[in-house]
Amino acid sequence: MSFQGRQVVVTGGTGALGIAVVGALLRAGAEAHVSYIHPAEADRFPLRSERGLRLVGPIDLVSEADIARLYGGVPKLWASIHLAGGFAMAGIAETDKRALMQQLDMNLVSCFLCCRAAAQAMRTGGGGRIVNVAARPALEPRSGAGMSAYTVSKAGVAALTAALGEELAKDGILVNAVAPSILDTPANREAMPKADHRLWPKVEEVAASIAFLASPENLVTRSAVIPVYGRS
C-alpha cells in the first residue's frame, strides 16, 4: 500500500494502537496529522521526530472549534482515522447520567464530529477514506454486560459508520470501521494478567487492517464494521 504524498488525520494516535497505525502510515509515505489533548502525550510520543509527522494540539475532540482547527490545517485530506475514545467498566446501577454522557462524548460524539469535518473536506477534494473504531460489544451487545454505557456508545459508532458509508459513497468517500476485541497492550495485560494473551489481536495486526481500509487500494469496501478479534 502506498500513501505517498497523501494527507491523513489520526485522532487518538498517541495511544498503543495509534502508534502502530501512525507508524504504518509514515512507512507508506503518508503525511500524518496526529491530534493530542495533553502536552505530555506529544512529549512521550515515540514517532514525534519522524519525517511526515505533524502533532496538533491541544485538541478537544468534542469541541467543534478545535476540530475545525485540526482539519483546517490539512491541505488536501485523503483519510481520517478515528481511534480516540474511552472505556468504563461499570454496571447500570453505578452509571449515572454524567458517566453515560462522558462515554457518549468520548466515543460517539468525537467520532461524529470528526466524520463531519472529514466529509466536508473530502467532498471538496474529490473523495477519500474514513475509518472508525467500534468494539466487539457493538456487534455482540450481550458481551457488553457490566459496561452498558461503553457498549451503547460504540454501538452508535457502528451505526454511524453504516449510515455514513451509504450517504457518502456517491462522493467517493468510503466509510468503514474495525471492531476489536481486547487488544494486546501492556495496560490490558496488566489489567488481566491471567488471560491468555496469545489469543488477543496485536496492535500491529489491527493497524494493518485500518491502514488497508484507509488506503487507495480499498476500492469497494464501505459501511463495513469488521471484526478484528484475532483468536479471542
Q: Quote the pLDDT of residue 232.
A: 87
Does 199 score more than 90 pLDDT?
Answer: yes
Burial track 99-137 (b if 16+ CB lie within 10 A, e otherwise): ebebbbbbbbbbbbbbbebbbebbeebeebbbbbbbbbb
State in words which class domain 7-228 has.
alpha beta
Burial track 9-47 (b if 16+ CB lie within 10 A, e otherwise): bbbbbbbbbbbbbbbbbbebebbbbbbbbeeebbeebeb
Q: Quote the pLDDT of residue 126.
A: 92
Section 98-127 average pLDDT:
97
- Residue 1 pLDDT grade (very low, low, confident, very high; cuts 50, 70, 90): confident
Does 38 score more than 90 pLDDT?
Answer: yes
Round to whole Å and give the CA distance between 24 and 30: 9
- Residue 122 pLDDT grade (very low, low, confident, very high; cuts 50, 70, 90): very high
Region for 29 from its dihedrals, namely left if φ exceeds 0, alpha if ψ lies in -120 to 50, beta otherwise? left
Q: Quote the pLDDT of residue 194.
A: 92
Section 10-36 average pLDDT:
97
CB 48 within 8 A of CB 42: yes
Mean pLDDT taken over the chain: 97
Minimal CA–CA distance to 90: which of 27, 130, 145, 131? 145
- Residue 89 pLDDT grade (very low, low, confident, very high; cuts 50, 70, 90): very high
pTM: 0.96
Q: Quote the pLDDT of residue 150.
A: 98
Does 169 score more than 90 pLDDT?
Answer: yes
Listed by start position, the domains of the chain span 7-228
Alpha carbon distance, N-terminus to C-terminus of the chain? 28
Q: Which long-range contacts (CB under 8 A, 24 or more apart) does 73-76 make?
A: 73/33, 74/7, 74/9, 74/33, 74/121, 75/7, 76/7, 76/125
Helix (H) / strand (E) containing 42: helix 39-44
- Residue 203 pLDDT grade (very low, low, confident, very high; cuts 50, 70, 90): very high
Does 206 score more than 90 pLDDT?
Answer: yes
Task: Identify residue 149 by its one-letter amino acid code.
Answer: A
Q: What number of residues does the chain have?
A: 232
Query: How many Cβ atoms from other residues are within 10 Å of residue 171's Cβ?
Result: 15
Phi and psi, residue 131, nearest 5°: -130, 125
